[in-house]
Amino acid sequence: MTVYTAPGQPGSIVEYRSRYDHWIGGEYVPPASGEYFENPTPVTGQTFCEVARGNAEDVERALDAAHGAAPAWGRTSVTERANILNAIADRIEANVEKIAVAESWENGKAVRETLGADIPLAVDHFRYFAGAIRAQEGSISEIDGDTIAYHFHEPLGVVGQIIPWNFPILMAVWKLAPALAAGNAVVLKPAEQTPASILYLMDIIGDLLPPGVVNVVNGFGVEAGKPLASSSRIRKIAFTGETTTGRLIMQYASANIIPVTLELGGKSPNVFFSDVASAQDDFYDKALEGFTMFAFNQGEVCTCPSRALIQSDIYDQFLGDALKRTEAAVQGNPLDTETMIGAQASNDQLEKILSYIDIGQAEGAKVLTGGQRADLGGDLSGGFYVQPTIFEGKNSMRIFQEEIFGPVVSVTDFADYDDAIKIANDTLYGLGAGVWTRNGTTAYRAGRDIEAGRVWTNCYHAYPAAAAFGGYKGSGVGRENHKMMLDHYQQTKNLLVSY
């Protein structure tokens, strides 16, 4: 067991700056307005740094830097770009512990997750896209005896990227790695709740990239995000965030006729068929673990399995065991490697979750465990903690239909296969889903019948770089990860040549 020293305290491995400016053209640039906003840690609720409050003028400066860098970066060889991406991966890997602690401190998520998953995945994504760009090929088609069509990939140029706070570094890397591999320059806006993690990362990797290839403008949605997404100087906007914001991003992009990638919200069903409980073995244990994934990362995951659907004949037994498993999960200091559930990312998020707990009870849903703000005492008493909460109710309730984005799962039962699929698909969203069964045919059919971009089957919450990720329905447009992502950051140039 390790309890990392809090940043700012003597002996911490993380040295956060007390003030962060924008990262533009390979250096820190103060905000045009001269204004900064406070950035608290969810661990204690105390401010640990202040951050430049960006506006349209700052976005223009970042776009100037990106446009200055884009032509030369776009002409680099794929080998050169792949080498840089691999160097970035190596640098992150060499600093994984520091970056993991820094992110936990800013976001509140348990260091067990950042150290064990988020930051190693960031390393892997850079390596994956370094390999993918080297392996990418164009094509030649013979149109007729004298005419040949050549197809080449070209970078888009300068692209905009806007990310949320729940995976501050991984969400940036999901976007940066393919965009850079494809030869684009980027202006990225982090979430106002978690800008310091990505700037901490730029302190570590920034010198590996030519100035202006990656620029970070901090600030709030309407002040900094809108001017970026609406700019006629970007050739694509990639956005991850709420579905309501995604609608706005699509409107902004339409004015300039640029492509969008939208990774939006979710209300993922996690379906447990009755054969799961046919034996009390490792499989059963794994399924119970899959249930408790609703509390993984404090439930602040777009694919949080926030609706558990349990077949009626095993409902009491499975739910009883799942309750025991949930109540045994250790909630505590995010910087303690034993902690499974840390703090919510912001006070606003905590308030939102508590309001949904009230809404659920007002709707007549029953709280089976949790349901309160968690006071962990001592230095943590000002932090943003909520107990993992299980509701029993019906799929028509708001707590089943609306994204809570916290450690709250709403449980209901189903009679048979058709009932399960009907309930699973009765949602605006279609991002992730889980299916648990020992029957291969049921697993395959359910995987195909559930309307979601990712269906985990007998597992949950793995995000390998080689697996395409994205939403059906209100959960988004386009995909991330997988080498197909390169196409989303490139133009196709056709040369039609008559010999």
Residues that bind ligand NAD (CB under 6 A): 162-166, 171, 189, 191-192, 220-222, 225-226, 229, 240-242, 245, 248, 263-266, 302, 403, 405, 431, 471, 476
Exposure on the CB side of residue 237, measured as CA atoms within 13 A: 30
CA dihedral 295, 296, 301, 306 (to 10 degrees): -30
Q: Which is nearer to ligand NAD, 37 or 283 (CB)?
A: 37
Give CA–CA dist 432/469, Å, rounded.
Answer: 9
| Pick from 150, 497, 194: nearest CA to 349 | 194
CB 421 within 8 A of CB 449: yes
Instruction: Write the CB contacts of 375 (distance below 8 Å, at least 6 apart in sequence).
Output: 381, 385
Instruction: Provide the minimum distance between the beta carbon of 263 and ligand NAD in the complex, in angstroms, as a whole number.
Output: 3
Cα dihedral 223/36/238/479 (nearest 10): -130
| From 103, 106, 192, 263, active-site residue | 263
Minimum CB–partner distance for residue 461 and ligand NAD (Å): 12
- 336 C-beta neighbours (distance < 10 Å), count: 18
Round to whole Å and give the CA distance between 346 and 349: 5
The angle formed by the CA atoms of residues 225, 229 and 231, to the nearest 5 degrees, is 115
Residue 430 Cβ vs ligand NAD, minimum distance, rounded to whole Å? 10
- Please indicate whether residue 263 is annotated as part of the active site: yes
The half-sphere exposure of 497 on its side-chain side, counting CA atoms within 13 A, is 11
- Which residue lies nearer to ligand NAD by CB, 102 or 229? 229
Give the integer Cα–Cα distance in Å for 247 and 282. Answer: 43
Q: Which is nearer to ligand NAD, 240 or 389 (CB)?
A: 240
The CB-of-264 to ligand NAD minimum distance in angstroms stands at: 5
| Nearest distance from C-beta of residue 46 to ligand NAD, angstroms | 21
Cβ distance to ligand NAD smaller for residue 222 or 330: 222
Among residues 264 and 374, whose Cβ is nearest to ligand NAD? Answer: 264
CA atoms within 13 A on the CB side of 368: 19
Question: 400 or 414: whose CB is closer to ligand NAD?
Answer: 400
Nearest distance in Å: CB 196, ligand NAD: 14
Catalytic amino acids?
263
